[in-house]
């Protein structure tokens, strides 16, 4: 009897302990489930924000590359037209300059277009100023006529060189940085694609190929923008060297021709000077005849 009572008491105590133990565990499970639900919701929100940022950055990168492409082709068109006009003007002026009868006649050419014509006009203007004594006495005008002519020609050639090289720095910059800009968009796009893959929980080819392929488009666009810019830059640099060599040779020949005339250029044209001298001689002859007639009239009166 005593053993039966003891056994029942032990059994009741074990049941009570089991009930007390199960109660906190249930509360813990509820709290853990609530935390997991909040974390899951936060996880669902975070990739969505990351996807939005990734798409915005990739789209922005593509827009920047498109703007680079527009600038590149605009500069190619502008510089191409500029070089065509320069080649035409230099060829025409060189033909007229070397076809002139003498240095004085060449100084009276009126078509001042193109780098060669502007360099020659700067030289002729310098010689006219030195011949007329209109130069001021300062450091810029110190030296003899040859030194002054060399300085003016060199200054004008530097101006022409600056005009020829305008815009080439932009082409060089676009050709250098466009691949890296495209690579930046690709890396960021692949990061977003991997985030989406981890979220979906699948690494099949259908899931991986699409997002990563779209991200690689930025690199392809960057290379497509850089190639024309680099080709155009190298082409125009070569053309500038050809034009610069032509102007250098032309300036040397100009100085040699000026040396043969002792660096003297008349201000008035030969035709105008001859007509003016003829008029002066005609006036002198008319005055002389008038004086002779007056003397004859006075002699007749005497």
State the average pLDDT over residues 261-279.
56
The verdict on residue 229 lying in a domain is yes
Domain count across the chain? 1
The verdict on residue 296 lying in a domain is no
State the average pLDDT over residues 57-73.
91
pLDDT at residue 210 above 60?
yes
Q: Quick: pLDDT tens for 215-224.
A: 788 899 999 9
State the average pLDDT over residues 118-146.
74
pLDDT at residue 73 above 60?
yes
**Share above pLDDT 90 across residues of the chain, in percent, rounded to a whole number:** 32
pTM for the predicted model, two decimal places: 0.66
pLDDT at residue 85 above 50?
yes
Contact 73, 228 (CB under 8 A): yes
The verdict on residue 212 lying in a domain is yes
Q: Residue 165 belongs to what domain range?
A: 49-280
> What does the pLDDT read at residue 39?
40
Which is nearest to 199 in space by CA: 8, 43, 67? 43
State the average pLDDT over residues 29-44.
42
Q: Quick: pLDDT tens for 231-242.
A: 999 999 999 999
State the average pLDDT over residues 168-195.
89
pLDDT at residue 6 above 60?
no
> What does the pLDDT read at residue 192?
76
Average predicted confidence (pLDDT) for the chain: 74
The verdict on residue 17 lying in a domain is no
The verdict on residue 44 lying in a domain is no
State the average pLDDT over residues 154-178.
92
More confident residue, 164 or 195: 164
pLDDT at residue 282 above 60?
no
What angle, 0 to 180 degrees and rounded to 10, lies between the N-to-C axes of helices 2-98 and 168-200?
160
The verdict on residue 160 lying in a domain is yes
pLDDT at residue 142 above 50?
yes
> What does the pLDDT read at residue 141?
58
> What does the pLDDT read at residue 249?
92
pLDDT at residue 252 above 80?
yes
Contact 185, 61 (CB under 8 A): yes
The verdict on residue 182 lying in a domain is yes
The verdict on residue 35 lying in a domain is no
């Amino acid at each position: 009897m005593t053993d039966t009572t003891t056994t029942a008491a032990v059994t009741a105590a074990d049941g009570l302990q089991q009930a007390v133990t199960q109660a906190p565990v249930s509360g813990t499970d509820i709290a853990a489930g609530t935390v997991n639900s909040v974390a899951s919701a936060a996880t669902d929100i975070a990739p969505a924000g990351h996807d939005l940022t990734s798409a915005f950055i990739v789209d922005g990168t593509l827009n920047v590359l498109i703007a680079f492409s527009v600038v590149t082709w605009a500069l190619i068109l502008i510089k191409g037209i500029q070089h065509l006009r320069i080649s035409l003007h230099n060829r025409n002026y060189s033909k007229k300059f070397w076809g002139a009868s003498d240095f004085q006649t060449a100084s009276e050419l009126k078509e001042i277009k193109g780098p060669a014509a502007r360099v020659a006009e700067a030289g002729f203007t310098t010689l006219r100023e030195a011949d007329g004594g209109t130069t001021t006495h300062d450091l810029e005008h110190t030296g003899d006529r040859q030194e002054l002519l060399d300085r003016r020609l060199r200054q004008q050639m530097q101006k022409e060189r600056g005009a020829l090289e305008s815009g080439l720095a932009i082409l060089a910059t676009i050709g250098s940085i466009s691949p890296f800009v495209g690579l930046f968009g690709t890396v960021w796009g692949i990061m977003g694609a991997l985030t989406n893959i981890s979220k979906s929980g699948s690494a099949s080819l259908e899931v991986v190929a699409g997002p990563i392929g779209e991200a690689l488009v930025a690199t392809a666009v960057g290379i497509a923008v850089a190639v024309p810019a680099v080709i155009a830059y190298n082409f125009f640099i070569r053309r500038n060297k050809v034009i610069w060599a032509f102007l250098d040779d032309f300036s040397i020949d100009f100085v040699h021709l000026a040396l043969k005339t002792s660096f003297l250029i008349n201000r008035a044209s030969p035709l105008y000077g001859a007509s003016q001298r003829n008029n002066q001689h005609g006036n002198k002859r008319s005055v002389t005849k008038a004086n002779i007639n007056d003397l004859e009239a006075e002699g007749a009166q005497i």
